[in-house]
Amino acid sequence: MNESVYNLDNQNSNLSSKITVALERISEAYRVLLWEKAKEFKLSPIQIQILVFVNSHKSKYCTVSYLADEYNITKATISDSVKSLLSKGLIEKLTNENDTRSYIISLSDSGKKIITELNNYSMELSNPLNDLSIEKQESLWGSLSEIISKLYNSNIISMQRMCFSCKYYKQVPEGHYCGLLEKELKTIDIRLDCPEHDRK
């Protein structure tokens, strides 16, 4: 029996197959929206991702190596994008006091001027989610965080700043606990990208 999710007999009779393909469609929508924004600003998709990431993360994460891990691409590809962003005047290079062989990427004044418009490229994806009831959103987040955790345990995706890979995270009989915040975390409190994350 062909168990591929693309085998329509299997897909139409198996909910997990349908969900797998649905996630692929959503990821495709994300890619299309990113491309549209890239065309509008004459940037590449990864250049937009770098600008958005640098704008919202601590400087210790804004290095070529970290960005390569974050987006699962080579350092050479990130370096090329950084060179292009520098030539467009959208970023600056700062000295990395922790590692003199690398540098910190920071937004320039011109980069800061366009960041609000770049940041909203995924807005159309969040609109339908905002239409869901809070109960449905909570249930969806519970399922997604569990799927992300399993894919991380299978080394398929990185989970750089999520609770499950943090040294402060503990699984407790009641659910989850953060040792830094010293409080129980409900499923909705589990963070995907936490500024206080410290890798286990």
Q: What is the contact surface with ligand SF4 in residues (CB under 6 A)?
A: 163, 166, 168-169, 178, 180-181, 191, 194, 196-197
Between 86 and 194, name the residue whose CB sits nearer to ligand SF4. 194
When the beta carbons of 39 and 167 are compared against ligand SF4, the nearer one is 167
Closest distance of CB 187 from ligand SF4, Å: 12
Instruction: Give the shortest CB-65-to-ligand SF4 separation in angstroms.
Output: 21
In the complex with ligand SF4, the residue whose CB is nearer, 56 or 95, is 56
Residues 175 and 188: beta-carbon distance below 8 Å: no
Considering beta carbons, is residue 37 or 197 the nearer one to ligand SF4? 197
Q: Which is nearer to ligand SF4, 124 or 196 (CB)?
A: 196
Distance CA 25, CA 159 (A): 22
Measuring CA to CA, how many Å separate 53 from each of 1, 59, 67, 92, 151? 44, 10, 9, 14, 22
Cα distance between residue 148 and residue 165, in whole Å: 11
- Quote the least distance from Cβ 163 to ligand SF4, whole Å: 3
Shortest Cβ distance from residue 129 to ligand SF4 (Å)?
22
- Minimum CB separation from ligand SF4 for residue 138, in Å? 17
**Measured between alpha carbons, how far is 95 from 177 in angstroms, rounded to an integer?**
37
Residue with tokens 């959503």: 26
